[in-house]
Amino acid sequence: MTTTLSQRLSAELAGLRDSGLLIRPRVLEAPQRARTHVGGVDVINLASNNYLGFADHPALKEKAAAYLREWGAGAGAVRTIAGTLRIHEDFEEQLAAFKHTGSALVLQSGFTTNQGVLGTLLQPGDLVVSDELNHASIIDGLRLTKATKKIFKHADPADLGRVLSENETDGLKLVVTDGVFSMDGDIAPLDRLVEVARKYGAVTYVDDAHGSGVLGEAGRGTVHHFGLQDSEDVIQVGTLSKAWGVVGGYAAGHADLRELLINRARPYLFSTGHPPAVVGALSAALDLVQQEPEFMERLWANTRFFKAELARLGFDTMGSETPITPVLFGETGAAFEASQRLLHQGVFAVGLGFPTVPRGLARIRNIVTAEHTRDDLDQALAAYERVGREMGVIGG
Ligand code: PMP
Measured in Å, residue 168 CA sits from the centre of ligand 1 at: 31
With respect to residue 396, please indicate whether it lies within any of the assigned structural domains. no
pLDDT at 316: 97
Domain match, 29 and 85 both: no
pLDDT at 376: 98
Residue that is last in its domain, among 225, 256, 291: 291
Distance between CA atoms of 154 and 183, rounded to whole angstroms?
Answer: 12
Distance between CA atoms of 64 and 40, rounded to whole angstroms?
Answer: 28
Residue that is last in its domain, among 291, 323, 351: 291
Please give the share of the chain, as a percent, with pLDDT higher than 90.
96
Residue 214 belongs to a domain with what CATH number?
A: 3.40.640.10
Domain that holds residue 333: 22-56+293-390
Pocket perturbation via mutation, ligand 1, pick of 207, 239, 352, 357 by most ligand atoms within 8 A of CB: 239
Burial of 269 (0-12, 13-18, 19+ CB in 10 A): middle
Domain match, 327 and 269 both: no
pLDDT at 40: 87
Domain match, 319 and 279 both: no
Q: How many residues does the chain have?
A: 396
Burial of 170 (0-12, 13-18, 19+ CB in 10 A): exposed
Domain match, 285 and 297 both: no
Is 182 considered catalytic here? yes
Domain match, 190 and 244 both: yes
Under 8 Å between Cβ of 351 and 21:
no
Domain match, 39 and 91 both: no
pLDDT at 395: 86
Measured in Å, residue 165 CA sits from the centre of ligand 1 at: 30
With respect to residue 16, please indicate whether it lies within any of the assigned structural domains. no
Domain match, 39 and 159 both: no
Distance between CA atoms of 325 and 347, rounded to whole angstroms?
Answer: 14
With respect to residue 66, please indicate whether it lies within any of the assigned structural domains. yes
Of 24, 113, 52, 40, the closest CA to residue 371 belongs to 52
Residue 356 belongs to a domain with what CATH number?
A: 3.90.1150.10
Q: Give the count of domains, the chain.
A: 2
Domain match, 41 and 82 both: no
pLDDT at 396: 64
Active-site position among 242, 254, 307, 372: 242
Domain match, 68 and 41 both: no
Residue that is last in its domain, among 248, 276, 291: 291
* The pairing of beta strand 234-239 with beta strand 347-348: unpaired
pLDDT at 21: 85
Domain match, 277 and 220 both: yes
Q: Residue 106: CB within 6 Å of ligand 1?
A: no
Element (H, E) at 82: helix 79-82
Cα 318–chain centre separation: 19
Instruction: State mean pLDDT over 332-361.
Output: 94
Domain match, 327 and 386 both: yes
Q: What is the pTM of this model?
A: 0.96
Residue of minimum CA distance from atom 12 in ligand 1? 110
pLDDT tens digits, one per residue of 77-118: 999 999 999 999 999 999 999 999 999 999 999 999 999 999
Domain match, 283 and 195 both: yes
Q: Residue 239: CB within 6 Å of ligand 1?
A: yes
With respect to residue 325, please indicate whether it lies within any of the assigned structural domains. yes
Atom of ligand 1 nearest to the CA of 135: 3
Is 242 considered catalytic here? yes
Is 137 considered catalytic here? no
Cα 340–chain centre separation: 24
With respect to residue 13, please indicate whether it lies within any of the assigned structural domains. no
pLDDT at 139: 97
Active-site position among 63, 210, 254, 372: 210
pLDDT at 148: 98
Q: Residue 208: CB within 6 Å of ligand 1?
A: no
pLDDT tens digits, one per residue of 187-238: 999 999 999 999 999 999 999 999 999 999 999 999 999 999 989 999 999 9
